[in-house]
Structure 1
Amino acid sequence: MVASLESGQAHRWKREDGWHTSVVQGNYIKIRQTDKYIEYHCAPNSEESILPLMRSYFRMDDDLDDVYSEITRDDRVATMVDRYPGLRILRQEPWECFIAFITSANSNIPRIHQGMEKMAASYGSPIYMDGSVRHAFPNPEQLAGAGEMGLRHLGLGFRAPYVDQAAQLVAEGRLNLDVLVDLPYEDAKAKLMECKGIGPKIADCIAVFSLDKLQAFPIDVWVRRALGDWYFPGEKPPPDRVLLEWAQGYFGQYCGYAQQYLFHGRRLEK
């Protein structure tokens, strides 16, 4: 579970006193894994009522044995699977994931976390649990109300106009992210890339982490290095477009999982 929450997929999880805490779809959640079970608490809804949400969020419907049989084509990914057993792709709410990865352009994981938390604290609704408060991520209307300057004041820099324009698109109904879940991968990706600030890598991140497109394969600096060193040694790595086609053919229908193991493993080897 820890690897799933700390592998750069979701950007509001914090470690606190042996727990991981976040706000997921309006629920303040704290969760931990022991040797025997996973324990979680939440507010304002009951633990029982959000069990379907938790199962969906952690993609418990994915058969990891099937995933592993598909992606462990060689010792490289197999080694990462052995090192981080149980790492799952998270099924996030599309709106929050959409904004998170727009803010990821030329950034890093701590800075993305900081920006997401600032947007939530500034424009989201508070949720209380056990004397602590976290904020829900602002809905499209709330974030659209911030305006570009409000977002710049949060430190989003050149990403602020992209976030502002994205919020306006969704708030005004010109972009329905939920519809993209049912579109074919290529069509959903193309629709995302119509938005300013979204290129192929960011579109693939949104697709795999929130739109059920497990064939998406985001290529960033860590994945590019892993592919170059491990699969194209001694030669200049091909362009990202060629790498994407190669990865989808090599790793198959679950290549998004292969990407996550490669990304997480290579990043922690730095």
Structure 2
Amino acid sequence: METGHIPAESIPGSFDLQTTLESGQTFLWERTETPETGQWFRTVEKTDVIEVKARDGGLDWRSNTDPTDSLRHRLDLDTDLPDIRSGFPNDPVVQAAIDRFDGLRVVTEPVVPTLFSFILSAQMRIDRIHDLVTALRETYGDRIQWQDGDVSAFPDPERLATLSEAELRDLGLGYRAPYVKRTAVLLRDDVVSLETVGSHPYETAREELTEFVGVGPKVADCVLLFGMNFEEPVPLDTWIQSAIETHFPEAEQGSYEATSRAIRERLGPRPGYTQTYLFTHLRTDESNT
């Protein structure tokens, strides 16, 4: 096992590890906490186990190999956060979100498990989505030896394509089971190439992602934002629709596509970043419950 530290001085702006990983952007990390070791987050990338812990504004890590470059990419640690936020609209609800979540960053996670995670997200709470992703990983993922026992990777499309809908339903996927099965087959057979999708302009890429079963415009936006490093997407979920109704009513245009364009114009040059702050703020604001 290798260990290391990414110092705060190498991260432009603040960084809040827990909020970033538990804000509904990703479901690929598992939090562990003991009095002896403190709070760590664990994920698997290909055949490597990666564990991270916040310390002194930076990040401790331990892994099979040095994951520094991967962590900087996945957790957006090279982005100048104050510069990004300077482009946010001067709106009270946006400023309140910044005040509450100073170190929130937008992730770029491995795209295949991100795609399946958000296919599972329909009408689900964040903790339930995480449970389903964990069930898929622990039941059908490859086992990787680690210091305190084996850890499971997320199953690849080839493995998921071999599963029956009944096997997927047994994990609690419900009506999402055929979506996972059929999308896995499309990926396995290279009917839709994620690499090709990622090379296209934003709206074209969103349309192409909807060729996967169970992927509408909102899920496609989530995949593009959190798995493919697109800056434009603003997933129009319940919380963002509420923000539009209350704070940006002029952006409501009657259709997903038109409303998406209008709200992107209101949220600054990096609308996906602004959206992530708004979503996290509104979802956790007790005055909204």
TM-score normalised by the chain length of structure 1: 0.92
* 1:106 matches 2:119: no
Give unmatched runs, 5+ long, in structure 2.
1-16, 34-38
* 1:265 matches 2:267: no
Equivalent of residue 140 in structure 1, options 157, 161, 164? 157
Q: Do the aligned partners of residues 25 and 88 (structure 1) sit closer, same or farther apart at CA in structure 2, a change above 3 Å counting?
A: farther
C-alpha separation in 2, matches of 1:179 and 1:93 = 15
- 1:10 aligned residue: 26
Task: List aligned pairs for 1:26-105, cutoff 5 A.
Answer: 26-42=47-63, 45-46=64-65, 48=66, 50-105=67-122
Q: Do the aligned partners of residues 236 and 36 (structure 1) sit closer, same or farther apart at CA in structure 2, a change above 3 Å counting?
A: closer
- 1:119 aligned residue: 136
Task: List aligned pairs for 1:197-216, cutoff 5 A.
Answer: 197-216=214-233
Letter in 1 for 2:235: P
Structure 1 residues 212-232: Cα deviation after superposition (integer angstroms, max 9, x where no partner): 211000011111112222233
Letter in 2 for 1:70: G
Q: Percent identity between the aligned chains?
A: 32
Letter in 2 for 1:266: L
* 1:20 matches 2:36: no
C-alpha separation in 1, matches of 2:20 and 2:118 = 17
C-alpha separation in 2, matches of 1:197 and 1:138 = 18
Contact map agreement 1:208 1:256 (CA 8 A) in 2: yes
Q: Do the aligned partners of residues 25 and 63 (structure 1) sit closer, same or farther apart at CA in structure 2, a change above 3 Å counting?
A: farther
Letter in 1 for 2:262: W
- CA RMSD of the aligned region, Å? 1.8
* 1:194 matches 2:211: yes
Contact map agreement 2:19 2:101 (CA 8 A) in 1: yes
Alignment partner of 1:209: what SS? helix
C-alpha separation in 1, matches of 2:32 and 2:283 = 23
Structure 1 residues 139-193: Cα deviation after superposition (integer angstroms, max 9, x where no partner): 1101111122221111101000011000000011112112222111011100011
Q: Do the aligned partners of residues 72 and 40 (structure 1) sit closer, same or farther apart at CA in structure 2, a change above 3 Å counting?
A: farther
1:65 to partner: Cα distance: 2.4
Structure 1 residues 89-140: Cα deviation after superposition (integer angstroms, max 9, x where no partner): 1011111111110111121211211111111111111123221332000111
Structure 1 residues 183-208: Cα deviation after superposition (integer angstroms, max 9, x where no partner): 11011100011222111110100011
Alignment partner of 1:23: what SS? strand
State which drifts further: 200-209 or 248-257: 248-257
TM-score normalised by the chain length of structure 2: 0.86
Structure 1 residues 47-66: Cα deviation after superposition (integer angstroms, max 9, x where no partner): x2x21111111122322222
Alignment partner of 2:244: what SS? helix
C-alpha separation in 2, matches of 1:124 and 1:87 = 30
C-alpha separation in 2, matches of 1:11 and 1:73 = 31
Letter in 2 for 1:178: E
Contact map agreement 1:55 1:61 (CA 8 A) in 2: yes
C-alpha separation in 2, matches of 1:178 and 1:99 = 16
1:237 to partner: Cα distance: 5.5
